[in-house]
Every structure is written in C-alpha cells, then in structure tokens.
A and B are shown apart, each in its own frame.
Chain A
Amino acid sequence: MRGFGAFLAKELAEIVRTWRIWVLPGMVLFFAVSGPPLAALTPELVSSLVTQDTPGVVIQLPDPTYVDAYAQWAKNLSQIVLFAVIIMFGGMVSSERRSGTAALVLAKPLDRSAFIVAKAVSHAALLIASVAVGAVVTWGVTLAIFGEAPVGRLVASTAAWLVLALLFLALMEALSASIDSQAGAAGLGLAAFMLLSIATLWGPLQRYSPAGLMNAPAEIVADKPVELLWPLVTTATATVVLVAVAVWVFRRREL
C-alpha cells in the first residue's frame, strides 16, 4: 500500500477544505439540534391540527419523552442521512477519474489499493465523526428538554446505524470504482437500499444478513429485543468484501 499515508493526508485535508466539511456534518447537526424539540412539540402540533380540522374530537397523546427524541434521531439517520451518504459517496472514486486527478497521482508510485483504502478510511472518518458529534448533540439537547437522556440506548442505536452506513459506504466505493457516472452509482445504491428494506420482510434474511440492521436503530431506541450478532458479523464481512471488490475493479481499470 505504497503512498497510503500521503494520500490519506490529502483526503482528510480535502474534506476539511472543501464543501464536504459542510454538507454531511451540517445535515447531521441540523437533525441533532432540531430532533428533540420536534419530538417535544409533536403532540401539541398534532392536537392543534386535529382540533382545528375536526371540532369536538379529542385526541390524547402520551407526554413526549427522551425516547421520542431518540426515535426521531434514529429515523433521520436511517432515511435522510443514509440517502445523503449514498448520493454523496457515489462519486468518491469516479470524480477523480473524470477530473484527471487520479491519472496524475496514479502515474506516481501510489498503489491503486492505497488509493481505494485511503478513500474508504477518510470517508468513514467523516461519517463516524459527523454522527458521533451529532449523537452527543442529540444527547445534550434531549437532556436539556426532557431532563432525562440515558446514554446506552442512544449509543447502541447510533453504533448499529453506523455499521450499516459503513456497508453502504463500501458499496458506493465499489460502484463508484466501476461506474463513471455519480448519478448512476447513486441510483444503484438507492436500489440496493430498497432491496435491503424488502429483505427485512423475510425472517432468515432479517436474522442473518445486513437487513437485520435496517430497523435495528429504531428498535433499540424503543427497547425492543433485537438480535444483532449475525447482522453485525455479515455486515462487517460484506463491508470488507466490498472494499476488496473496489480495489480489484479499480486495479483493472485504465485511466
């Protein structure tokens, strides 16, 4: 993996000094800050709407708790943030190929495997750091609003989502190494998301495949029993395999 350190340093500097530092972290922080107040206000909002539209009807909703705030966080991660990851990371390799930067650096003694692994590591670092900061902010805002915010459920839920998100990161890297179009790779990534969502409907896949992590964040927050061992093992394995596939494909591509 010749040149890995130098290229990883470039990747990390690129994150800090370009639009990338604003988009994903900004989105995650927005949800972290807005989620708990939205959870606190939801019952009042629903009640006022029902009262305006249907006079005489009374709906009683339970008082919101930290669980609602955490559920909001888990829902945002599992949908909007994951979609953003798929779309943003669809060009993580192909953008360098199209712009000619890959040809310039790979004519130097930088291994193609180092190129791919450094991109996986730097994008994973961005994702993990953004979500970790977001989780801390969610915890703080939840504590401030609800006076109660147990750490365990939030950490477990966020960690389960991160493992799934890293799988999608690896998938997008493999797709981006194979396809020059960012939109094309993103489309295939979204298709994979849909397939995995459908796979949750079949018990064996839910128990033993990455599909088991699709609903896990929300179920952990709701304190439902969740079997995570096999989904975690198969997801981690698939992540490593997909990065290896990205390396294999990229080594065979001409620049």
Chain B
Amino acid sequence: MTAAIEMAGLVKAYGENRALDGVDLQVAEGSVYGFLGPNGAGKTTTLRILSGLARPTEGEARVFGHDVVGSSADVRATIGYLPDVPGFYDWMTGPEFLRFAGRLFGLEGAVLDSRVSGLLEMAGLDGVRTRIGGYSRGMKQRLGVAQALVNAPKLLLLDEPTSALDPIGRKDVLDMVAALSGRTTVFFSTHILADVERVCDTVAVLDRGRVVEQASVSDLKTRHGSTRLILVVTGDATALGDRLAREPWVTGVETTAANTLVLAVGDIDAARHAVPAAVAGSGLGMVRFDTLEVSLEDVFVGLVGGGA
C-alpha cells in the first residue's frame, strides 16, 4: 500500500537557520497521525511544504506517491489543508466560501450543493447567514475544517487546529477530526498533547527540525515511559524510600507526601514481589500499591528535553 505521506531527508533552510534538518517520516494511509513538537520545531514548515506553499531546500516529500514539488497540482487536488490561522474573505458567508472552495476543485451542481450542506451541518454552521467577518474564532476554525473537507480529500492536513480555541471550541474541532477516523488520513500538527492522545493513533515527535520518534501512541509510551508505581504506607516513608532506591530494578524514587512514594521501575515483576516485603520489613502497613499510567506528556518532555 502506498504511504499517504513519505518524507526523506527533507531540509528547509532560511539562510543559516534550518527549520527542517533532514526529516524522514512515513504516514500510513487511513491513520490519524499526530505531528507533535514544541513551538518552532518545524511543524508548520512541514505542512506548508506538503501543501505546495513552500519548497524544500533538499530532500523530497511525496503525497500518495506524487512529489509535492514536481506534481504540486495533483497533490493539491487530493489534500485538504487548514493553516494554523486560516485567512477567510470576511465579506463572504460560510456557505459562499464553501461553494467557492468547492469550485476551485471543479465541483459544480448537485454534488457541490450536497457537499456544502453536509459540511455546514457537520461544522454546526447550517443556518448561519452572517458574514465570516462576524464569526467567532471557534466558528472560523470549524469552517476551516469544513473547507478543508470540501473535496472529500484522501489526506487532511491540519496545522494546530485547536491551539487558539476555548475548551468548547477545542472539543468541537476534535470531535470533527475524530469523526473522520477510518475515512480519511489525517495529519495533525499540534503542541497540545491531550489532543493527540484523544484523537491520534500514531505520532511523530519533531524537535529542532528533526523527527526524534515515530510510533503508535501506545508503543511510544511503552518504549519511552518507565513504569511508575505509587506506594502509600501507614507511616513515614522516608527510610523505606532510601532502602528501595538501592534496589537494582528501581530507577527513581520520588517522595510526594510523608507517607507516599512514586517509584520508577525497570522491572515491574521484581517490584511486585519485593515492594510488599520491603514495606513489611520496615514495620509499616500498605495502604495503596498501584501502577501510574504513563502520559504522552511524560514521553514528550523526555524526548524534547522539556522544551515544549
């Protein structure tokens, strides 16, 4: 199967500064792909290259096998793109803009009519007749997603679609993206980790113009998140913490309260056998002993060095 997106050695330089520094990436067709990175990592530059708005300095990028430079028109016909700050014609209404966008893809007549009405309904903008200049930020972003879908794209490129929205606007946009799962390949750049965890099945982490990791969300957590255990005892846990810190399977001990330890462990089975014995040996009773879920945020901070 042809990958939806392939990048090989992609470089984008602005003078001495390399916004992208040899990006290699593959996005499988049908996935909802999170493109994570701190501000300035190169996410927007990557999306601008994929959508034909900028040219790579070196390397190549392909969308469904088409080179984004040599076959730019073919690529643009198969994608939908939402920039981080979409610029609309404020004098148009939402339905007018969607019709205009559809005509740029050659849509006409009944197909265009049904596409526009369906998208307006999906975006919660059916019945809204005010000009786009009077829209709220959330309405504009939902219209942005709708216009990116007007050609029923095989690939949807979304550049930080939720970064400037309030919680309700964010939920609306994420619901729209989640609804596309399985129908369209979605390539979704963001620095909001909770959004990725919510809608993406696969993720790449970009840092200083390089992809530092690329995997499914669960694989990423397994590979990069050391297992953490919470231990709550009946008395002061300081001496117990010192004792456990000397064990070879313990990689870190954090005291979060007088009677509470968070243990980072490399061997969960060894921990499950040894910790109850150590608690008993310390003359303490065990109140709670449980695993803590590794968040994508922990993984992300670990990968990019807390630069987000």
User: Which residues of A does B touch, CB under 8 Å?
Assistant: 2-3, 5-7, 9-10, 14, 17-18, 96, 99-111, 254-255
**Residues on the A chain within 8 Å of B77, using CB:** 109
The answer, among A103, A104, A108, A255, for a CB contact under 8 Å with B105, is: A108
- Complex CA gap A105/B83 in Å reads 11
Binding site for A on B (CB under 8 A): 48, 51-55, 73, 76-77, 79, 81, 83, 85-89, 91, 100-101, 103-106, 147, 151
Are B104 and A104 neighbours in the complex by a CB distance under 8 Å?
no
B48 CB to closest chain A CB (Å) equals 7
Q: Are A254 and B53 within 8 A (Cβ)?
A: yes
Task: Using A3-B104, A109-B104 as known contacts, list a sample of 16 further A-B pairs with CB atoms less than 8 Å apart, ordered by residue number in A.
Answer: A6-B103, A6-B104, A9-B103, A10-B89, A101-B88, A103-B87, A104-B81, A104-B83, A104-B86, A104-B147, A107-B52, A107-B76, A109-B76, A109-B77, A254-B48, A255-B53
A7/B104 in contact, CB under 8 A: yes
- Bound CA span A133–B147, Å: 38
Residues of B within 8 A of A102 (CB): 87
Residues of B within 8 A of A100 (CB): 83, 85-87
CB-based contact A17/B104 at 8 Å = no
Q: Cβ of B48 and Cβ of A14 under 8 Å apart?
A: no
Contact A17 B91 (CB under 8 A): yes
The dominant DSSP class at the B interface is loop
In the bound complex, residues from chain B placing their C-beta under 8 Å from that of A107 are 51-53, 76, 79, 81, 83
13 contacts between A and B (CB under 8 A): A2-B73, A3-B104, A9-B100, A9-B103, A14-B91, A18-B91, A100-B85, A101-B88, A101-B89, A102-B87, A105-B101, A107-B79, A107-B83
Which listed residue (B55, B81, B85) contacts A254, Cβ 8 A?
Answer: B55
The distance from the CB of B150 to the nearest CB of chain A, in whole angstroms, is: 9
Report Cα–Cα, A210/B81, bound state, in Å.
44
Evaluate contact between A106 and B53: CB separation under 8 angstroms. Answer: yes
In the assembled complex, which residues on chain B have CB atoms less than 8 Å from the CB atom of A3?
A: 103-104
Out of B83, B89, B103, B151, name the residue touching A103 (CB < 8 Å): B83
B73 A105 Cβ-Cβ under 8 A: no
Which secondary structure dominates chain A's binding surface?
A: helix
Instruction: Return B131 CB to nearest CB of chain A, in Å.
Output: 9
Contacts of A109 in B (CB 8 A): 73, 76-77, 104-106
| Chain B residue nearest in CB terms to A101 | B87
Q: Chain A contacts of B85 at CB under 8 A? A: 100
B91 neighbours in A (Cβ, 8 Å): 14, 17-18
Cross-chain contact A108 with B76 (CB below 8 angstroms): yes
Pair B52/A106 contact, Cβ less than 8 Å: yes
- Check B89–A14 contact: CB distance below 8 A: yes
Docked Cα-Cα span, A254 to B48, in Å, equals: 9
- Shortest CB-to-CB span from B122 to chain A, Å, is 19
Measured CB to CB, the closest approach of chain B to A158, in angstroms, equals 31
Would you call A104 and B76 a contact (CB within 8 A)? no
**Docked pose: A103 CA to B50 CA in angstroms:** 13
The docked-state distance in angstroms from the alpha carbon of A99 to that of B89 is: 9
Chain A hits for B73, CB < 8 A? 2, 109, 111
B89 touches A108 (CB 8 A): no
- CB-based nearest B residue for A105: B104
Nearest CB of A to B169, in Å: 19
Closest residue on chain A to residue B75 by CB atoms: A109
CB distance from A200 to the nearest CB of B (A): 41
For A104, the chain B residues whose CB sits under 8 A away are 81, 83, 86-88, 147
Closest to B101 in A: A108
Q: Which of A9, A96, A107 has the most CB of B within 10 A?
A: A107
User: Which residues of chain A are within 8 angstroms of B55 by Cβ–Cβ distance?
Assistant: 254
A125 to chain B minimum Cβ distance, whole angstroms, is 18
A170 to chain B, nearest CB (A): 24
Chain A residues whose C-beta falls within 8 Å of the C-beta of B83 in the assembled complex: 100, 103-104, 107
Find chain B residues with CB under 8 A from A96 CB. 87
Task: Find out whether the CB atom of B54 lies under 8 angstroms from the CB atom of A255.
Answer: yes
A255 with B89, Cβ < 8 A, contacts A6-B100, A107-B53 known: no
Expressed in whole angstroms, the Cα–Cα distance for A3 and B101 within the complex equals 10
- In the complex, what's the smallest C-beta–C-beta distance from B52 to chain A, in angstroms? 6
